[in-house]
Amino acid sequence: MKKFLLLSLTMLMLLGAKLQAQNRTVTGKVTSQEDGSALPGVNVVLKGTTSGSVTDIDGSYSVDVPPSGGVLVFSFIGLETQEVEIGSRSTVNLEMSDDVKQLNEVIIFGVAGATPKEKLTVSVTKVGEERLNAVTGMSLATSLTGKVAGVRISTPSGSPGENSNIQLRADNNLNGVNSDPLIIIDGQIMVGNLVDINADDVESMEIIKGASASALYGSRAGNGIAITTKRGSRLKNGQV
């Protein structure tokens, strides 16, 4: 009886070792569909399991899969998640593209992380070109009047060309004192006033309220106005 149990146990161990030995390794490289560059940090997981890998700096990965293959799931923030059938292949390369829908729901802070809008501690209100030009104001600042909640626009004397005062409700910058909003044009901090900007050159404006915005542009960014010009938008898209 003991010999039978020992023999059975040995056979089970050998069978398990054989099944494990039958697992095979799938390798590949993940690149950007846009420019062909390597994509590091992409999660590669065998669907339905916790087995997986992360692409290295060259976009390469290696995953152990069963003999039958399975499905590899490729995912990364800002990129469209893709599922690829392995089949009998030992190499699975993939090109990944931007997930436009996901990018619209995420705001990136610096270079370290992303925060979903519903968890964001910064209020961002966007005013597009159509709304800005709905009622022509004396300046770009006065064009915001009545279009953003919590923003008060005033011109001391009402004289043409005079700079307008812009006050954001609940001004809470890190310095602890009220201040004029920080103006950012196409990602660059502006030295000057909104009156110096031609409203016809502006594609959109974003009113930013919240101390967490200081992670981007410093202590004054808790109350800021981010402006995207028509030229800046074209340059961003690779046009001149």
CATH number at residue 160: 2.170.130.10
Residue 9 forms part of a structural domain: no
The confidence score (pLDDT) of residue 136 equals: 57
Q: What pLDDT does residue 166 have?
A: 73
In sequence order, what DSSP letters do the residues of the chain get, joined into one string? -HHHHHHHHHHHHHHHHHHHHT-EEEEEEEEETTT--B-TT-EEEETTSS-EEE--TTSEEEEEE-TT--EEEEEETTEEEEEEE-TT-SB--EEE-B-HHHHHTEEEETTTEEEEGGG-SSEEEEEEHHHHTTS--SSTTGGGTTTSTTEEEE-SS--TTPPPEEEESS---TTSS--PPEEEETTEE-SS-GGGS-GGGEEEEEEEESGGGHHHH-GGGGEEEEEEEHHHHHHHTT--
**Domain range holding 46?**
24-101
Confirm whether pTM is higher than 0.75: no
Residues 119 and 81 in one domain: no
Statement to judge: residues 221 and 128 lie in one domain: yes
pLDDT score recorded for residue 205: 75
pLDDT (tens digit, 0 to 9) for every residue of the chain, 240 residues total?
A: 556 555 656 666 655 545 555 789 999 999 988 888 899 989 999 999 888 999 998 999 999 999 888 999 999 877 889 999 999 899 999 999 877 665 454 444 443 344 455 555 556 677 777 766 665 556 677 776 666 666 777 766 666 656 677 766 544 444 444 456 777 777 677 666 767 777 777 777 777 666 555 555 565 555 566 666 655 544 444 444
Instruction: Give the end of a domain, one of 79, 101, 123.
Output: 101
227 shares a domain with 109: yes
Same domain, 42 and 159: no
Q: Are residues 206 and 136 in the same domain?
A: yes
115 lies in the same domain as 193: yes
Q: Are residues 95 and 178 in the same domain?
A: no
Number of domains in the chain: 2
Provide the pLDDT for residue 31. Answer: 93
